[in-house]
Amino acid sequence: MQRALALAVTPGVPLGPNPRVGCVLLAPDGTTIAEGFHRGAGTPHAEAAALAEAGDAARGATAVVTLEPCNHTGRTGPCSEALIAAGVVRVVFAQPDANPVAVGGAGRLREAAVEVVGGEMIDEAQAINRAWTFAIAHRRPFVTWKFATTLDGRSAATDGTSRWVSSRAARLDTHRLRGLCDTMLVGTSTVEVDDPELTVRDEVDEPVAIQPLRAVMGLRDLPTDRRIFNDRAESVHLRTRDPEIALAELHARDRQHVFLEGGPTLARAFLAAGLVDEVVTYVAPMLLGSGRSAVADLGIHTITDALHLHVTDVAVLQGHGGEDTNVRLTMKPQKR
Ligand code: AOF
Ligand code: ZN
């Protein structure tokens, strides 16, 4: 399974709507017959790739897969049937497939007298497809809210200027994180005021294979010459102010991980709706004493009502060329 998990995360596999999956076919004596991994939506599933490599040698084999074999004909055929037809006698998988269109593989295999064991290294398998797993379970994308702040919690000065709060190292790190999501989301006011392009660019060493979708939400009409609508990536205007509706629309477009980069009003709306799953904050050693907070008034007036977050990771982003160190905090809001 360790090997199957490593295959699943083979570098270069584009982040898409499909999960990353690895598969190893073992002979009865435990030697490896063939390996396979999934290379993105529309390409053969990991099991199919391994079976193709094995040919007749798959007869009597054990298939070790990071995800329960699918039982549906989607972009490709059902892996349950392919494993049965190839004469595989045993299937060991990690994560059960709760995807409503694909579900039922283990049952179908058992029906055909294949021995099935599930749940092996399930945590590791779920971790490599965190957003996919979340989106299937919750029927909406996972939401990461990202913001940069000064030491005194300001995201912009009183004149509205917000450029260069975070260091170049922190901005580079942001672009890297953007590239790990499939959607970036801001509100109409951010597009009007800051006119961001919202692409993953230059600053990252390796260009991303697919640019994340650029989504803007809000009822206001926007001029078409805004940079978010340029041809460097896909974009969409979600005509709603309701985070739940916006996420439902993105889910319908097969989006699994939203990187929320909007202003304080949008942040408040998502927090108030309990729709922030992760917070990533870059703290710069800088004081403003006044200026805009990262989040608008949450209606909290006493300390015991504070919204608490749990820190899951701290990273020090060393500054270069005279720039100071920034700190990145990754947190989980406590749901109320
Ligand atoms: C994959 N790769 O190796 C396995 C998958 O888009 P489709 O029609 O090819 O089906 C995607 C679903 O198939 C996916 O969401 C998951 O439930 C199941 N298994 N998918 O992309 C694979 N084994
Ligand atoms: Zn499949």
For residue range 33-90, list pLDDT tens digits in order: 999 999 998 999 999 999 999 999 999 999 999 999 999 998 888 999 999 999 999 9
Whether 124 shows a pLDDT value over 80: the answer reads yes
Establish whether residue 154 lines the binding site of ligand 1, counting it when its CB lies within 6 angstroms of any ligand atom: no
First to last CA, the chain: 37
Read off the pLDDT of residues 230-267 as tens digits, 9 standing for 90 and up: 999 999 999 999 999 999 999 999 999 999 999 999 99
Instruction: Give the separation between CA 119 and CA 92, rounded to whole angstroms.
Output: 8
**Which residue among 37, 45, 53, 91 has the greatest number of ligand 1 atoms within 8 angstroms of its CB, and so is best to mutate?**
45
- CA-nearest residue, atom 15 of ligand 1: 18
Pairing of strands 326-333, 278-284: antiparallel
Cα(6) to centroid(ligand 1), Å: 18
CB atoms within 5 A of ion ligand 2 belong to 45, 70, 79
What are the structure tokens assigned to 205, written together? 């060493």
**pLDDT above 90: residue 14:** no
Q: Tell which residue, 146, 91, 154, has the closest CA to residue 120.
A: 91
- Residue in 37, 65, 67 to alter for ligand 1 test, most ligand atoms within 8 A of Cβ: 67
Beta-sheet strands, E only, within 5-118:
22-26, 32-37, 62-67, 90-95, 115-117
Decide whether any atom of ligand 1 lies within 6 Å of the 41 Cβ. yes
* 79-86 and 46-54 helices, crossing angle to 10°: 20
What is the predicted pLDDT for the residue at 160?
85
Q: Compute the distance from residue 106 Cα to the ligand 1 centre, in Å.
A: 14
Question: What is the interface pTM, i.e. ipTM, of the complex?
Answer: 0.92
Provide the pLDDT for residue 201. Answer: 76
Evaluated on CA atoms 290, 293, 299, 300, the torsion sign reads negative
Task: Name the burial class of residue 147, with classes exposed (0-12), middle (13-18) and buried (19+) by CB atoms within 10 angstroms of its CB.
Answer: buried
Whether residue 21 has its Cβ less than 6 Å from ligand 1: yes
Instruction: Give the ligand whose atoms come closest to the C-alpha of residue 49.
Output: 1
Q: How many CB atoms lie within 10 A of CB 229?
A: 18
Helix (H) and strand (E) counts for the chain? 10, 15
Query: Residue type at 169?
Result: A
Predicted local confidence at residue 203, as pLDDT? 59
User: Which pLDDT value is given to residue 12?
Assistant: 84
Q: Is 273 in the pocket of ligand 1 (CB under 6 A)?
A: no
Q: What is the pLDDT of residue 208?
A: 74
Task: Provide the pLDDT for residue 210.
Answer: 83
Query: Is residue 47 annotated as a catalytic residue, yes or no?
Result: yes
* Tens digit of each residue's pLDDT (9 = 90 or more) over 186-200: 999 999 989 999 999
**Closest atom, ligand 1, to C-alpha of 79:** 23
Mean pLDDT of the chain: 95
Please give the model's pTM, rounded to 2 decimal places. 0.92
Q: Which of 25, 35, 32, 34 is nearest to 62 (CA)?
A: 25
Q: Is the beta carbon of 165 within 6 A of some atom in ligand 1?
A: no
